[in-house]
Amino acid sequence: MATGVSLGLVLIGSVFMLLAAIGVARMPDVFMRLHCSTKSATLGAGCLLLGAAIYFGDFSVGVRALAVVAFLFATAPVAAHVIGRAAYLSGVPLWEGTLSDEMKGQYNMATHHLASPSPDAGPVPTLPEAAQAEALESFDDAEALESFDDAEAEALNAAEAPGEQ
């Protein structure tokens, strides 16, 4: 019985790992590849490890396998989020078939603040791209970046686009 369950888990884990590898090879941009590698590969590795733990039937092997599975489930989504955010902020292009870019215009490169507006607040004021580039060139130290506040960003927005509200 235990051999059959472990064989089933190993086969399921292998299929998920194969699907993750195919997805990483076939997806068009880094964000979709991250999705494939974190979801499928994590589930596949978890099934493989649980299958191995059941097959060996030793308590110490089971505890180690469960610890590794818990570690993978806790760290893989966080790592994918950090890699995806770094890729987005460094300008990695989205796939041309992407339907929406919810972060566009929400991140202020000068202050490194991500706006989280309420649904009825409308668009969040951010620096225009030219002002962001200028601000990044002019700020060399952390104190200057910390002193740059939202009022200054709004003043720069108003100066560059006087007729828009």
d(CA 66, CA 53): 8
How does pLDDT run across 74-130, given as a tens digit for each residue? 999 999 999 988 888 888 888 888 887 777 777 777 777 777 766 665 555 555 666
**Mean pLDDT score across all residues of the chain:** 79
Please check the confidence at residue 64 and state whether its pLDDT lies above 90. Answer: yes
Q: Report whether 43 contacts 16 (CB < 8 A).
A: yes
State the pLDDT at residue 70: 94
Please give the C-alpha separations between residue 109 and each of 28, 49, 106, 112, in angstroms, as whole numbers.
26, 42, 10, 5
**Averaged over 7-30, what is the pLDDT?**
93
Q: Helix crossing, 129-138 with 150-160: angle to 10°?
A: 130
Closest CA to 127 of 98, 100, 151: 151
> How far is the C-alpha of 44 from the C-alpha of 11, rounded, in Å?
9
Model pTM greater than 0.95?
no
